[in-house]
Chain A
Amino acid sequence: MADRARIAPLAFLALLLALPPLLEAADQAFYISLLTRVLVSGLAAASLDLILGYGGMVSFGHAAFLGVGGYVFGILMSHGFMGDALVLGGVEIPGTNEALILLPIATILAGLVALAIGAICLRTGGVHFIMITLAFAQMLYFLFVGMEDYGGDDGLSLWDRATLAGWDVSSDMATFYLSLTALVAFLVLARRLVDSRFGMVIRAARQNERRLAALGLPVQRYKLACFALAGMAAGLAGALTVNHAEFVSPAMVHWTRSGEILVMVILGGMGTLYGPVLGAVVYFLLEHLLSGWTEHWMAAFGPALILAVLFFRGGLWRLIVGKEMDTAGGEARGEAVHHG
């Protein structure tokens, strides 16, 4: 099992690296673009897993940070293209189309927004936490709808994709590899994070917050830091989504988007980091297949999800690599033993 847990991610990575040239050769280049959407959704889902699967924080507003990252990216890109500076409180901020500037800014601002929202939301717990994260995401949704200068309800179209250190990386193939690089970088960092002292505190907080406080740890501070880190990664995912789609709209922050990400995490396996990426793959695959079959694809999609959650309680990733004990999905080990 331990070997499979190590080999499986590398095998998937090798597959992903090899796919674009193969798809192009097979004249199926359309799928490269679809795969890029899967990757950035996978990044968003994996970032949610950090707080949901490891920290036990059920956020129903994770799309808020996608939206912040996406809009920061989109707004600066559009100013960069138009050549007019963004004026904020008397300060002129020039736009740009350089990914090495745009992506860090989008990531950091999304993290700061997550820090502010998290500081309020983490005063609550349980159902209240779910509702208040949802409420904040909806507030941002309406904020974006109200931004008439940037398309309001209709969203903001961009003319091109960002450059990377001046290089043109606007092709679908380059965009795919850029997104894949970001995803892999996040997974490597997050993997280290969850096994570090910080990560152990976050995992312990999910199991027994009161005990952790009694041990002398200021639990809220750690949870908030984790919430902000997850927000940063979601912001990066949002920026990459906008870069790929060359379009940003309030739909990105809609609560159904938060729900989708949540489903990807649960489907793929909470507390596995790789699982949510697999969850995104399966989610898009099902959507693609079912919507080609009927326009009422949601009617089949819903039951399929319910069955998946009922029968693979630890998530799809654990079917591949086996169980880990001390993460949210790992709790289902009792059931798994009975079935197996």
Chain B
Amino acid sequence: MVDPSPPTLELKGLCKAFGGITATDNLSLTVAAGEVHALIGPNGAGKTTTMAQITGEIRPDAGHILLDGRDITTLPVHARAALGIGRSFQITTLFPDFSALDNVAMAVQAKAGTSFRFWRPARQESELRDPARDALARVGLGDRTEVPAGDLSHGEKRALELAMALAGRPRLLLLDEPMAGMGPEESPRMVDLLLALKGSVAMLLVEHDMDAVFTLADRLTVLVTGAVVASGEPDRVRADPDVRRAYLGEGDHAPC
């Protein structure tokens, strides 16, 4: 690396095919430190496959993934997470029988080095519980700490997801449809939460809610059948005739 400060995330010529179907087609993009980069495209465009390659759940056929200039293409999921990739899942996945606080404390614990500690009760360790309480307060769940995660409302679960991702103090936050399944009151709250976080952590955002995308994103990349159709500032991308034809239709809202 010649550049003294490489981007937080860099994808270089990423390719992935499942049988004859190309899911990712020579995809390159960067997310700078503190930047919100939105990845949009119609269903089947390869957004989720791209996310899975960044997290390490799918291995690319070709290309490289760099985190802060370090090649992480071949690292397993947990090693990438340990290096600073936090994510919120498309389908809410928590530890449903644990309390909200337990869930976030687990995220803190995962970051705190080895968990091969067999004696001290983890629920009494303030070095786990305090940062977890802080993260819950940041996402507005300060008064729901003892509720089992499985009993939270949908919006609260998404917020809890976010708190767990934040508790790990990630370099890069992968947000896979954070607004999915949210009601009209809940979505703006999540957008406000993300706006408040903006600048403190780099985010790669996959989202169908175009209002949210245009509110949050510093840059926008449009994927169609795994390839980049357009990339740049949201207003420029929105005006791009290729994008309008391929994806955005006549209006500003996605057809899905």
Q: B-contacting residues of A (Cβ < 8 Å)? A: 192-193, 195-201, 203-204, 207-208, 210-219, 222, 225, 325-327, 330-331
Tell me whether A198 and B95 are in contact in the complex, defined as CB-CB below 8 angstroms, given that A215-B164, A216-B111, A217-B78 are known contacts. Answer: no
Q: Is the CB of B118 within 8 A of A216?
A: no
B247 to chain A, nearest CB (A): 29
Q: A201-B106, A208-B93 are in contact. List 16 more A-B contacts (CB 8 A).
A: A193-B118, A198-B118, A200-B105, A200-B109, A207-B96, A207-B98, A213-B81, A216-B82, A216-B110, A216-B168, A222-B115, A325-B97, A325-B99, A326-B98, A326-B102, A326-B148
Q: Is the CB of B118 within 8 A of A196?
A: yes
Partner of B115, one of A197, A210, A213, A327: A197
Q: Is the CB of B117 within 8 A of A196?
A: yes
Q: Who on chain A is nearest to B92 by CB?
A: A211
Could you show 21 A-B contacts with beta carbons less than 8 Å apart? A192-B119, A196-B117, A196-B119, A197-B115, A199-B118, A199-B122, A200-B105, A200-B122, A200-B123, A201-B115, A207-B95, A207-B97, A211-B94, A211-B95, A212-B106, A216-B80, A216-B110, A217-B78, A218-B78, A326-B95, A326-B97
A228 to chain B, nearest CB (A): 12
B20 is an interface residue with CB less than 8 A from chain A: no
CA gap between A193 and B117 in the complex, in Å: 8
Q: Is the CB of B122 within 8 A of A197?
A: yes
Task: Kindly list chain A residues whose C-beta atoms are within 8 Å of the C-beta of B55.
Answer: 214
B191 is an interface residue with CB less than 8 A from chain A: no
Q: How many chain B residues touch the partner (CB < 8 A)?
A: 38
CA gap between A187 and B164 in the complex, in Å: 32
A-B contact count (CB 8 A): 104
B107 is an interface residue with CB less than 8 A from chain A: yes
Most buried by A among B82, B97, B107, B168: B97
A211 to chain B, nearest CB (A): 5
CA gap between A211 and B55 in the complex, in Å: 12
A118 to chain B, nearest CB (A): 16
Q: Is the CB of B123 within 8 A of A215?
A: no
Most buried by B among A208, A210, A214, A326: A214
Task: Kindly list chain A residues whose C-beta atoms are within 8 Å of the C-beta of B81.
Answer: 213-216
CA gap between A197 and B128 in the complex, in Å: 10
A40 to chain B, nearest CB (A): 24
B47 is an interface residue with CB less than 8 A from chain A: no
What 1/0 flags go to B117-154 for Cβ under 8 Å of A? 11111110100100000000000000000001000000
A327 to chain B, nearest CB (A): 7
Task: Kindly list chain B residues whose C-beta atoms are within 8 Å of the C-beta of A208.
Answer: 93-96
Q: Is the CB of A215 within 8 A of B107?
A: yes
Q: Is the CB of A213 within 8 A of B122?
A: no
B77 is an interface residue with CB less than 8 A from chain A: yes
Q: Is the CB of B93 within 8 A of A211?
A: yes
Task: Kindly list chain A residues whose C-beta atoms are within 8 Å of the C-beta of B168.
Answer: 215-216
Q: Is the CB of B110 within 8 A of A215?
A: yes
CA gap between A312 and B238 in the complex, in Å: 60
Task: Kindly list chain A residues whose C-beta atoms are within 8 Å of the C-beta of B117.
Answer: 196-198
Q: Who on chain A is nearest to B149 by CB?
A: A207
Q: Who on chain A is nearest to B83 by CB?
A: A216
CA gap between A330 and B76 in the complex, in Å: 32
Task: Kindly list chain B residues whose C-beta atoms are within 8 Å of the C-beta of A210.
Answer: 93
CA gap between A225 and B122 in the complex, in Å: 18
Task: Kindly list chain A residues whose C-beta atoms are within 8 Å of the C-beta of B18.
Answer: none
B87 is an interface residue with CB less than 8 A from chain A: yes
Task: Kindly list chain B residues whose C-beta atoms are within 8 Å of the C-beta of A204.
Answer: 95, 98, 106
Task: Kindly list chain B residues whose C-beta atoms are within 8 Å of the C-beta of A207.
Answer: 95-98
CA gap between A192 and B119 in the complex, in Å: 5
Task: Kindly list chain B residues whose C-beta atoms are within 8 Å of the C-beta of A326.
Answer: 95, 97-98, 102, 148
